[in-house]
A and B are shown apart, each in its own frame.
Chain A
């Protein structure tokens, strides 16, 4: 799961000219640390939904990579 999630996050970061990450750090926030805006987050959620069939924002905002991993494991 981790490799695939890392890959999807980096696709979104690359598409939006943001620096990619080497590994998943559960404490890193998607907006402040990775630099994603709301459209980037929407892109991330659609790509994750295609891959995992889970809408990560269905029940509210997800701030950190850790929260994201938790949603995908559930």
Chain B
């Protein structure tokens, strides 16, 4: 029987998953799970009995009052019926979006809508998918649906060390990998090759070209796809570089106003809609009009005023990421009465790499105008990452 889920210390096949679902006598609309298998069993129980489920991040909190239990009786005879009932559920899942820019918003998505991005093909059966997202976020749920709809196998790479990730990619002959740019940056210094991987997706944050090139180096046989999307609109477009061509189907559904990408209501989740056009909060640069090519510049909310200059911290992060030894960087503004904001940076370097704050600052002074150089640089083991696997900004 096909394996459904494998991690560094657990493995279950589809028959065992079916047994878990049939044995579960209670369902909680909102539930703090013990682990992924506990979480997914509760979710499946909700979906097959057509109950909406609010996804509670069991990887981030330890105390939570579960909703009242609902008694269930499940007797599904085979795996195919189980999968059929999951993917055709009319229930919705409540997903807390991002949280990388403030308090998370609860957005309800129907399974029908989430299934729109799932591809069901014979080639996906028995294939292995790297599971890197927070299971309770939209990308984590989409990954679950993608895997279950094809009876593929999830290889859990979420929140584990770089070396363990590399070991699992090799030992499980991982074929498909989808993750945030932050995840791929953790694979630095890119000194290994994973030839089994056939497809790599970068999702959820802006990817830079140097990162995409490093990903290509590590996964030489993979097709690289850089995805643009959000919890509100789902995955919207893809590219092999950091430049996106707006597809024809979106011509009348997206527009650019004052450099910001705006979505038409027809492609936005109903639970966040308040007007005909929904601002994405993403600033873009138009590379060409015909075809319409765009490049993502930054989140609009990230622009900071530093001594009278508008500074995009993402640009500064990109410059820091180009410096030798740097794995990751997070630049933020510290409010200041004198100059508005002072740029400060958290920088992660490769293990045993010796560099001082002063040296890094001097390197940056040769590459950036003075006001763009972070004035306080802290070296960290990892930059602060939010519950969705994205960098906190």
Report whether B337 and A46 are in contact in the complex, using a CB–CB cutoff of 8 Å.
Answer: no
Knowing A15-B375, A47-B376, say if A42 contacts B338 (CB, 8 Å): yes
Option from B337, B358, B375 in Cβ contact (under 8 Å) with A43: B375
Quick check: is A57 within 8 A (CB to CB) of the other chain? yes
- Please give, as numbers and ranges, the residues of chain A lying within 8 Å of B342 by CB-CB distance: 39, 42-43, 46
Determine how close the nearest CB of chain B comes to the CB of A57; give it in whole angstroms: 4
Interface residues of B in 21-79 (CB under 8 A from A): none
Quick check: is A38 within 8 A (CB to CB) of the other chain? yes
- Please give, as numbers and ranges, the residues of chain B lying within 8 Å of A57 by CB-CB distance: 336-338
- Please give, as numbers and ranges, the residues of chain A lying within 8 Å of B124 by CB-CB distance: none
Interface string of A11-43 (1 = CB under 8 A from B): 000110000000000000000000000110111
Knowing A15-B375, A47-B376, say if A39 contacts B339 (CB, 8 Å): yes
Alpha-carbon distance between A61 and B342 when the two chains are bound, in angstroms = 16
Alpha-carbon distance between A55 and B376 when the two chains are bound, in angstroms = 16
Interface residues of B in 336-369 (CB under 8 A from A): 336-339, 342, 344, 357-358, 361
Option from B339, B358, B375, B376 in Cβ contact (under 8 Å) with A14: B358
The size bracket of the interface on B is 10 to 19
Interface string of A31-74 (1 = CB under 8 A from B): 00000001101110111000000010110010000000000000
Alpha-carbon distance between A15 and B339 when the two chains are bound, in angstroms = 18
Determine how close the nearest CB of chain B comes to the CB of A43; give it in whole angstroms: 4
Pick from A14, A38, A61 the residue with the most CB of B within 10 Å.
A38
Alpha-carbon distance between A68 and B327 when the two chains are bound, in angstroms = 38
Report whether B337 and A39 are in contact in the complex, using a CB–CB cutoff of 8 Å.
Answer: no
Report whether B370 and A39 are in contact in the complex, using a CB–CB cutoff of 8 Å.
Answer: yes
- Please give, as numbers and ranges, the residues of chain A lying within 8 Å of B273 by CB-CB distance: none
Alpha-carbon distance between A41 and B340 when the two chains are bound, in angstroms = 12
The size bracket of the interface on A is 10 to 19
Report whether A39 and B361 are in contact in the complex, using a CB–CB cutoff of 8 Å.
Answer: no
Alpha-carbon distance between A43 and B344 when the two chains are bound, in angstroms = 9
Determine how close the nearest CB of chain A comes to the CB of B349; give it in whole angstroms: 18
Knowing A15-B375, A47-B376, say if A42 contacts B361 (CB, 8 Å): no
- Please give, as numbers and ranges, the residues of chain B lying within 8 Å of A47 by CB-CB distance: 376
Alpha-carbon distance between A47 and B375 when the two chains are bound, in angstroms = 10
- Please give, as numbers and ranges, the residues of chain B lying within 8 Å of A45 by CB-CB distance: 336-338
Option from B307, B336, B357, B358 in Cβ contact (under 8 Å) with A46: B336
Report whether B371 and A39 are in contact in the complex, using a CB–CB cutoff of 8 Å.
Answer: yes
Residue of A nearest to B370 (CB): A39
Report whether B358 and A42 are in contact in the complex, using a CB–CB cutoff of 8 Å.
Answer: no
Knowing A14-B358, A15-B358, say if A42 contacts B339 (CB, 8 Å): yes
Quick check: is B334 within 8 A (CB to CB) of the other chain? yes
Report whether A58 and B337 are in contact in the complex, using a CB–CB cutoff of 8 Å.
Answer: yes
Option from A14, A39, A55 in Cβ contact (under 8 Å) with B307: A39
Determine how close the nearest CB of chain B comes to the CB of A60; give it in whole angstroms: 8
Residue of B nearest to A47 (CB): B376
- Please give, as numbers and ranges, the residues of chain B lying within 8 Å of A58 by CB-CB distance: 337
- Please give, as numbers and ranges, the residues of chain B lying within 8 Å of A42 by CB-CB distance: 307, 336, 338-339, 342, 375
Determine how close the nearest CB of chain B comes to the CB of A8; give it in whole angstroms: 11
Alpha-carbon distance between A58 and B306 when the two chains are bound, in angstroms = 17
Alpha-carbon distance between A43 and B336 when the two chains are bound, in angstroms = 9
Knowing A15-B375, A46-B375, say if A41 contacts B338 (CB, 8 Å): yes
Report whether A46 and B376 are in contact in the complex, using a CB–CB cutoff of 8 Å.
Answer: yes
Knowing A39-B370, A43-B342, A43-B376, say if A15 contacts B357 (CB, 8 Å): yes
Chain B interface residues (CB < 8 Å from chain A): 306-307, 334, 336-339, 342, 344, 357-358, 361, 370-371, 375-376
- 4 other contacts beyond A15-B357, A15-B361, A42-B375, with CB at 8 A cut-off? A15-B358, A41-B338, A42-B338, A42-B339
